[in-house]
Amino acid sequence: RCHKMFALKSYLNKHQESACVRDDDSPPPPEPPAASG
């Protein structure tokens, strides 16, 4: 599941980390807003 994140980690660099740890079967979250933080 983390392997497919390599393409998304472009903007999920910080989310991917949590997604991999959770190993959720659900798809990754949509692009974060410009005011992410």
Question: For residue range 1-37, what is the model confidence (pLDDT) as tens digits?
Answer: 555 555 555 655 655 455 455 555 666 666 666 665 5
Between the CA of residue 23 and those of 10, 12, 26, 33, 34, what are the distances in Å?
A: 18, 14, 9, 23, 26
Q: What is the pTM of this model?
A: 0.15
Q: Are 14 and 33 in contact (CB under 8 A)?
A: no
